[in-house]
Amino acid sequence: MRGLMELYGLSAADPECAARLPSGVLLDGGSLSHHPAPMLFIEPESGGIVEANRAACAFYGHPFERLCTMFIDDINMLQRDEILARRRAAATGLANRFSMPHRLATGEVREMLVHSHPVMVGERQLLFSVVHDVTECSRMGEALRSREERLELVASSATLGLWDWDVRTGRLSVNPGRVALLGFPAGWTQRGIDDWMERIHHADRNRVLTALNAHLEGRTDRYEAEYRIHDGGDALRWVHDQGRVVRRDAVGVPARVIGLFMDVTARRYAEESRARLFELSLDMLCILDFEGRFHEVNPAWNSTLGWTVSEMLETSLGGLTHEADATAVAQALDQLAAGERVRGLEVRLRCSDGTWRWLSWSARPEVEQRRIYAVVRDVTHQKRQEVELRRMASMDALTGVSNRATFMETLADMMQRCCHDRAVASVLVMDVDNFKLVNDTWGHAVGDEVLRRLGRAMVPLLRTVDTVGRLGGEEFGVLLPGVGPEAACCVAERLRAAIAAMEVPCDDGRGEALRVTVSVGVASCPPYHSVTEVLRAADKALYRAKASGRDRVVCGPVALLEMSCPESPTIP
């Protein structure tokens, strides 16, 4: 009792502090009556309010006469049994401090901290209770606990650990729930900063200290580092660590640093695995933006195109693309920017030595990141094989000139253009004279060589737009687009003369050479406008040349016409 009175500025000499206070004058006019703290005298068993000071009346909102006829149960929001148990505990001295909700006259409920002690008033034992409104403190505490719980929830869900470093004492506190992240012992929550530093991998420790000191000295806005740390065993874990000075002393020296850390072991291992695959892949891997600028390329680009990584990052896809493929690349970038994948795009890119390589692209976009992830393969060899296969499929295997199918397809295209554009064109059909005699006399090997040399002899005498084809056996054809009948006969004569002058070794042991001649039939468009018509006319002209004695040129369509042509004719 003495301590409680002294707490409120009263002394034992005051009449109201006697062991037995006179009944009826407990608070009337005395120091307690005017004290700013609400005070009540309560009967322990019934809970009746015997007296109250002015502060109590004002706080609860009841007049003195009303309040002194009420029971504490009318104010206290706890259950009656619990209220009675607390009064009895206070009356016997077992407990004197209680937290309870009290209802005011307005109906509002406030959280109260009650100090209650037994006193003797005459022959009666009463409870002297001093009440404090701690509602705001309670709300602030609840809000703080709620924030801490939310923070802990966020940290837990994000596998974050929180730490608090008292720089002056070196004490480092880590929230218990996160210590297990690193495999530390369960009790490892309050240690010195040196203990933490000792666990950092020796290869990372200086880098971490440099980053930390830079922040402590005010040279960086925050401390941030990623490093390896030893767990409770022999394993290493990767940690992303960051923090900030939250308090400095009067002279600016850091006093407290708070931060958080995250276990990023899985991410680091995934990044390392990706980097190893990125480096070892034989495929060309790259990351671009939607404008086609390279942001990352693997070493395969250098081995394929010859450009260094830095050179690649300074250029763009468009800057390396062959002009004939520029439209296809632009369309592919638009398609990717729209969120669609691209597969099997084949384009040519320039190498560092100025040559070109065919590359096949498979790419997918990440629209939110504005990035394109691509796998690229060098298909130059395959493209060359395709060209060679097409050439072989269109070429006569023995002579190297076009085969019959290709010749006929080209002839059909030429005749269609002639009809559409009203242009001129000519067809030559030639046959080796007495070729059966060559095979019978010298053998098929010599006969094959005759055909090979005949094909090689004609090609240099023709334009690149002209076509030489083997129609079968010893029969050949020549297509001359844009050449009329007269000029065509001149070309035919020039070919006939070159073949007549050609020598073919016979391998007979005497060093003799074989000479052959050809007969040539010529037909033109107009007047013929179909493949069938022009070939029939050229064949008839060829038969006339054979019938006229061979080794000559005959131009269709009607009469036998032996054409003589000036040397070195000019093809229009």
- Residue numbers annotated as active site: 474
Note whether 12 and 119 are within 8 A (CB): no
Q: Token digits for 269?
A: 């291992």
The rounded distance, in Å, linking the Cα atoms of 262 and 239 is: 6
Tell me the CA distances in angstroms from 339 to 366, 409, 414, 449, one per residue in order: 7, 42, 45, 60
Q: Return the sign of the alpha-carbon dihedral for residues 211, 214, 216, 220.
A: negative
Return the bridge partners of 124, or none: 121
Looking at residue 383, its amino acid is K
Give the whole-angstrom CA distance, residue 304 versus residue 248. Answer: 57
Burial string for 136-163 (b: 16+ CB within 10 Å, else e) reads eebeeeeeeeeeeeeeeeebeeeebbbb
Please answer whether residues 490 and 564 qualify as being in contact, where contact means their C-beta atoms are separated by less than 8 angstroms: no
Q: If DSSP codes are grouped into helix, strand and coil, which group holds residue 395?
A: strand
Q: Rounded to a whole number, what is the distance in angstroms from the first to the last CA of the chain?
A: 133
Q: What angle do CA 421, 424, 429 make, to 5 degrees?
A: 135
75 contact partners, CB below 8 Å, separation of at least 6: 60, 102, 103
Residue closest to 474 by CA, chosen among 565, 419, 542? 542
One-letter identity of residue 476: F
User: Measured between alpha carbons, how far is 513 from 453 in angstroms, rounded to an integer?
Assistant: 13
Q: Identify the H or E element spanning 552.
A: none
- CB atoms < 10 A from the CB of 404, how many? 14
What values do phi and psi take at 23, rounded to 5? -65, 140
Output phi, psi for 409, to 5 deg.
-65, -40
The β-bridge partners of 476 are: 430, 470
Provide Rg for the chain, Cα atoms: 53
130-21-40 Cα angle (round to 5): 20
Under DSSP, the state recorded for 180 is G
Cα dist from 173 to 153, 176, 193, 256, 435, whole Å: 18, 9, 9, 11, 104
